[in-house]
Structure 1
């Protein structure tokens, strides 16, 4: 039943006036917006009214006057979501104990985290961003260290959901040359469409003419695909969002050409933890990309590889380093992880018969907007149709069967708050930037603790409390993390079959046909090739081989020749042998099996950790802290449920101020010291030298007082096309770790509050630095002499100019 069939249109204005007396909140805004929709149903009106009433301080006396009395049948759903009707005042109120203590903080929109939000570096003004601060200190360091990394660096960024990993991609694009290309590997079409829309707006803000399309996907017409390829090679495209499958298929020849012509500058993997969690069996194309990037590098390409995620684990790093690493290059790791304090997580086990009805009832009565995650497409369909049968129209089903056009429509309506509920498989919401999701329900257990944490992390991204509940039945208490990795016996047999049909390309580099069939192999050639690929990827992860693709840049023009070329190309891979004993079974039984067992152990443990929480063996906060310890850096333990139970509902967690960095360093950490005479031209002189050193790649960071920075602005205003940052002396004094990660240009025109000279300690520094001190400053250790008189190695600034 539609709401307009129940409630007269001429009374809507008065109803809105009644609603205006409630506190301003997202629930009030959603309620008022929904009243304007002619498609609003009576069921939806009741549950949105429940959300509105639940925001009141005095829940027992919360009332919304309708001025109209519903029949018993019309009010059935209202009763179901926790409402009661007062026939004397013709108003709706809340039943006793409708809002539990776990959901109350969600309706009160309690802020659960806060962060120091440092101002953007001056150079970011070039991007014309709609905000001027970083979300956290950790985000600032991720952006800075990615930008100053070497052109062929491998950078791994671990930042929690909602902390702005997208800014890393945005700044890489903005500070590349106009004809450079950044390729962003995206796991889902929904995310590709969402990110492409945002990037198009960003490129317009930067002052560039946007291209028509930034998301490469199968449904695009051949004309649009041809235009994208042309725009890449002509230097117009700037950025392209693409799936792993497309990277190793339709767009591949163009990428070879872009690498050869040095257009390709950055390859960014968004949600890069999926290389490990999805790439081993579900979508091996994630791991095939290691071979592709190796081939692009061999073609002459020089590009960064940037891996972004909120939930890297130590196993993720092992997998990335084995498949994408370079023995000569140490990766840069920026880890700003913290456990999310917003989700209040509960769980309940129900009977099989009550399973779907419980999920549906919870979906109706829990705070909106809301996502229901189910393990299978069939369960998603069952839940969706149950909701629809109860009169919910502001709900959509989102699975792997949802077409691209439908996906775009769903995402657009979801972002515009025209939908209240999404029923989906796990891929929905990956990386998507909707900050005000208030509830995540799980119908059944996720595959493992990683997946569960990712999914609940799609709620509360705005820093306010969210509600998450796991509903499952006893039959689901099994470890779903079964390994689908190739076994040692079959793997060894497959490898020997492929090896026997090898052809030598160069010394120690061989061409292997991936559709080779061993004696026992099934007839399905696609399945056979997939398992052969899994065999090769396991060998690479175990350190036996390194994979690459043949050159795909010389593609024939005719359609018939193209089909033949592509058929042959996808059947081949180049294998560089790293272990001479790769065809000896004992090597497989020892080295390969040891790696396989270790991967299986980690995979099984991930599933067991989720079961430990579901069956009350361990608290969730403790499990998450253990799961997301990374490179010996352990995140602070937090728990939204514990805050409720221990009367800490309003406690806030400071996030993003603690982080760890590991990066390649120079063999030299020399300190160059100069003194300058304070004259009318000294500021201009110092800034000109600073610009010179930035252009030469010797420094990246200007350390100086606020006073000196203000004096420098006239000489720095047009210096936004180069990458440099500003660091205050207070930051310099307080953050030792931060200081050591940068090549610094230090200008000290006066003593700091501690009456010290901010001269770097060479033995602690990672890079060479420059220090410039006012010649009038005294030596703090001997005030009878000037600071520069203490050493013969300190030179006059004029020696740099003359």
Structure 2
């Protein structure tokens, strides 16, 4: 039996006193269990253990809410490092000393206290979330994590063929369930037989995330789902065959692989009408990385267009863009790249996350900053991430902390070998690491829920990057701590990275001409051209050093800018052209050049006047957005505005619900604290599909169609016939069900059938719930309940009402509702007869 609370604390005390072996107890509390594992781990150093002891003592202090300070026995060898970890040894016992850092203004409590207690501050848990739709039981879910997750999954499953849905859902609310539902349940507008068939491509930014998703989703250990460079070629061939021929299941791939070696198999699947969806995980990276060192992110839009053109007109793959951080600028880029053909809609379920407690230090010298960070890392709860900006800084901090005495430690950056990355991530998920020093990519999309501390020994170049990294903490809905400790030099680094110049009209036009007029450029007919990206732009003083990879990045930015303006459209790798891979992508082995196929939309694309008239305003807008993003980061460091208001400014008031978190302002003045209210559930961004066949004809006149039942008809035959009727509903396209009261037993068998198709269910006290998709729906009214009937409403949403034959009139108590209803009323036999 797992111990928790006071029993767990006593068990750890017994372990530390040597009375109980560490492996003889099982503890449910995450912080206490981490300490127990460290005590059983021969690689944990005394400093590792001391920091975890402080974590546990602070958590227990918070849990008790007063009285004597909790203590734990002091094992031999711990006394030497107790002071550095903020512990005091007294009579063989350890107690936590309060940490009040000298750089913090108006310290009202130890910065580690709330996070160490892991107090739940958010609803994001399957235990307390809203009831799941019946079809989610196929994924083992009876509840959603949040109303936002429910709206996100419903919107994704309602996406029409060929359309795009962008989903903005906070970190930790389960975006991966979206593509799992697409794979297992299928789309609402597909026929029930085809709904769960086909291939779902999930584009991921990192190899680690591909493996993470594979482990979470595959049904058997031997089934490969991650199509990544460096893996066994036999596995890659098996995935290609499954995608192109068998047309089933999930496949996870980096954009480089999707746009190149996996592309022929994807086209085969699309041509057969069995490519269900293209899901882009961490879709904000299309903007952040696609115009920089990962140009294939922007090539995804061309691949999408190819796949849509290959597919039958009514079986085009849907595109689902998933992110927790969509700025207005990023959303504009995604809309340009992933709409037309097909409609583009946004489901925004974002809200400011309440888990982090924010602390910011004033700028200092490099030596002072080092001392402050070391002090913080010796006192803040675990697990913890220390973020830096540059690889050299990550290496230096890793060595510094190792020399200090930490052993449950790893370093993760762009130069970390793949094997070591995988081992680090495995140890992180298994709880064998307490501290990781990392650059920005660490933790991207990795669903490790229990991170308690995120420290920045840098100034992120955008507030967007900062918030994404803070979001690695508190994914379990419990309190975490965010601490930024900058040096003066960090501001220079942040400005340099932020001010990667949005290319000027003159230089942009020069680069465009270099690509368009290059000897390797190929005219494919009409206004379609295959252009080489890895070309030198010329020999101007600004560009003479920008060759190779740097030049490629700038040329990719030019294409994205022109696509955003509408001068061209990215089309993809036409005519089977082989594309290149760069070594760091590790996705393809044969390189012949970097190419992109484009469709020219503006005949004056080579004229400077056209560039000044069309490109310059957008260029200025992008520049202003980057400057605004850095400005918000600097405002946060000045601690003059609540982080919630800064985040609303960054992501937009209409797309982000401001929920209060903890910052220096509200710690010093409780009156400025914002209410901690949860966002009202957003409505799905797509309507339910139109009705098909006989059901569509029967309900085409507008107003309600009423089916009656007698509750006394409860035999097996009646149950079977109602189950057949419900099957007819779903075959005809009905996807929304409102339950007014508890369904009577006669419908038990029919309700069981809902697990087979994507049907969205809501309970109601009589009024139609607004958070179901608009469009046709079934309303099932229990005995003793009533609804208002609508006889004549041409053009209104179709309702198929199933009501007791003696349902009372809502407006005239004591009278039967059907006596005044002039619309179509059918009993079950008449209804089934009309369907055949």
TM-score when normalising by structure 2: 0.83
Structure 2 residue aligned with 1:259: 270
2:309 maps to which residue? 298
Residues 774 and 15 from structure 1, CA distance in 2 versus in 1: closer, same or farther, beyond 3 angstroms? same
Q: For 1:224-255, what per-residue CA distance to the aligned partner results, in whole angstroms no more than 9, with x for missing partners?
A: 22222123223276111111222223322322
1:122 corresponds to: 134
Report if the CA contact (8 A) 2:133-2:760 is conserved: yes
| The one of 330, 334, 337 aligned to 2:350 | 337
Please give the secondary structure, in 2, of the residue aligned with 1:624: helix
CA contact (8 A) 2:740 2:779 kept: no
Cα drift, residue 24 of structure 1? 7.2
Residues 684 and 34 of structure 1, relative CA distance in 2, 3 Å threshold: same
Give the conservation status (yes or no) of the 8 Å contact 2:567–2:605.
yes
Instruction: Report what 2:8 is aligned to.
Output: none
Contact kept? 1:505, 1:511, Cα under 8 Å: yes
Q: What does residue 5 of structure 1 align with?
A: none
1:396-795 residue pairs with structure 2 within 5 A?
396-478=410-492, 479=495, 480-500=497-517, 503-515=522-534, 517-520=536-539, 524=547, 527-551=550-574, 571-629=594-652, 632-641=654-663, 644-645=667-668, 653-655=676-678, 657-663=680-686, 670-678=702-710, 680=713, 684-697=720-733, 699-708=734-743, 710-718=745-753, 720-730=755-765, 733=767, 735-736=769-770, 738-750=771-783, 752=785, 756-757=787-788, 767-782=797-812, 786-790=816-820, 792-795=822-825
| Map 1:196-345 → 2, pairs under 5 A | 196-200=214-218, 204=219, 209=220, 211-235=222-246, 238-300=249-311, 302-326=316-340, 329-345=342-358
> CA, structure 1 residues 96+565, in 2 after alignment: closer, same or farther (shift >3 Å)?
closer
1:41 matched to 2:68: no
Q: How does 1:164-183 map to 2 (within 5 A)?
A: 164-176=174-186, 180-183=198-201
Q: Is the 8 A contact 1:155 1:305 kept in 2?
A: yes
SS in 2 for 1:307: strand
1:299 Cα deviation after fit: 2.3
How far off its partner does 1:707 sit?
Answer: 3.3
1:161 corresponds to 2:171: yes
In structure 1, the residue matched to 2:582 is none
SS at match of 2:227: coil
Distance 1:378 1:683 in 2: 70
Q: Distance in 2 between matches of 1:796 and 1:775?
A: 10
Unpaired segments of 5 or more residues in structure 2?
Answer: 1-13, 102-108, 187-193, 580-586, 691-699
User: d(CA) in 1 for partners of 2:130 and 2:15?
Assistant: 45
Contact residue 111 and residue 650 of structure 1 kept, 8 A:
no
**Residue 23 of structure 1: CA displacement?**
11
TM-score in terms of structure 1 length: 0.87
Q: 1:402 to 1:56 in 2, by over 3 A?
A: same
1:44-80 alpha-carbon deviations (Å, 9 max, x no partner): 1222222222223358643222375x5xxx7443211
CA offset at residue 420 of structure 1? 0.6
Alignment root-mean-square deviation, CA: 3.5
Report the CA distance between 1:123 and its aligned residue: 1.7
Q: How far apart are the structure 2 equivalents of 1:77 and 1:13? A: 16
C-alpha contact 1:254 1:553 (8 A) present in aligned 2: no
User: Does the CA contact (< 8 Å) of 1:182 and 1:264 recur in 2?
Assistant: yes
1:745 match: secondary structure: strand
CA contact (8 A) 1:256 1:553 kept: no
Of stretches 778-787 and 419-428 in structure 1, the one that deviates more from structure 2 is: 778-787
Shift of 1:142: 1.5
Once the two structures are overlaid, the 10-residue window that deviates more, 777-786 or 226-235, is: 777-786
Q: CA 1:799–1:643 in structure 2 vs 1: closer, same or farther (change >3 Å)?
A: same
Residue matched to 1:6: none
Q: Contact 1:148/1:700 (CA < 8 Å) preserved in 2?
A: no
The 1:161–1:565 alpha-carbon spacing in structure 2 relative to 1, beyond 3 Å, is closer
1:62 to 57, 60, 70: 70
Q: Is the 8 A contact 1:41 1:392 kept in 2?
A: yes
- 1:380 to partner: Cα distance: 0.8
Equivalence for 2:696: none
Deviations 1:272-300 (CA, angstroms, capped at 9, x unpaired): 12222232324332112111111222222
- Distance between the aligned counterparts of 1:430 and 1:279, measured in 2? 16
Residue aligning to 1:7: none
Q: Partner of 1:230: helix, strand, or coil?
A: helix
Distance in 2 separating the partners of 1:224 and 1:139: 33
Give the distance between the partners of 1:16 and 1:648, measured in 2 at CA: 49
Q: 1:565 to 1:468 in 2, by over 3 A?
A: closer
Shift of 1:42: 1.6
**Is the counterpart of residue 801 in structure 1 residue 821 in structure 2?**
no
1:462: how far off?
1.4
Answering whether residue 109 of structure 2 is matched by residue 109 of structure 1, we say no
Q: Which residue of 2 aligns with 1:4?
A: none
Note the alpha carbon deviations across 1:629-673, whole angstroms, 9 max, x for none: 26x244124122356445699999453543354336889994442
CA contact 1:281–1:485 (8 Å) conserved in 2 = no
Deviations for 1:718-765, whole angstroms, at most 9, x for unmatched residues? 4533221322223x63742x145353112335463xx54265996996
Give the distance between the partners of 2:782 and 2:97, measured in 1 at CA: 68
The residue that corresponds to 1:3 in the other structure is: none
> Separation in 2 of the partners of 1:441 and 1:764?
57
Aligned to 2:7: none
CA contact (8 A) 1:690 1:745 kept: no
Over residues 692-736 of structure 1, what are the superposed CA-to-partner deviations in whole Å (9 max), with x where a residue is unaligned?
231132x10222345326432223434533221322223x63742
Contact 1:748 1:758 in 2 (8 A): no
**Deviation of residue 686 (structure 1)?**
4.7
Residue 402 (structure 1) shift: 1.6
Which of 8, 17, 23 is equivalent to 1:14?
A: 17
Determine helix, strand or coil for the equivalent of 1:490.
helix
1:718–1:381 CA distance, 2 compared to 1 (3 A): same
Deviations 1:113-155 (A, max 9, x none): 236612222222222x2x4211112211211221232232211
Cα 1:438–1:550, aligned 2, differ >3 Å: closer, same or farther? closer
Q: Once structures 1 and 2 are overlaid, which stretch shifts more, 241-250 or 443-452?
A: 241-250
Residue 24 to residue 779, structure 1, CA distance change in 2 (3 Å): closer
SS in 2 for 1:461: coil
> How far, CA to CA, are the matches of 2:534 and 2:427 in structure 1?
44
Candidates 129, 146, 159, aligned match of 1:136: 146
What is the distance in 2 between the residues matched to 1:334 and 1:800? 37
Aligned equivalents of 2:792, 2:358: Cα separation in 1: 47
Distance 1:146 1:564, change over 3 A: closer
Given that 2:307 and 2:317 are in contact with CA atoms closer than 8 Å, whether structure 1 keeps it comes out as: no
2-structure distance, mates of 1:344, 1:758: 51
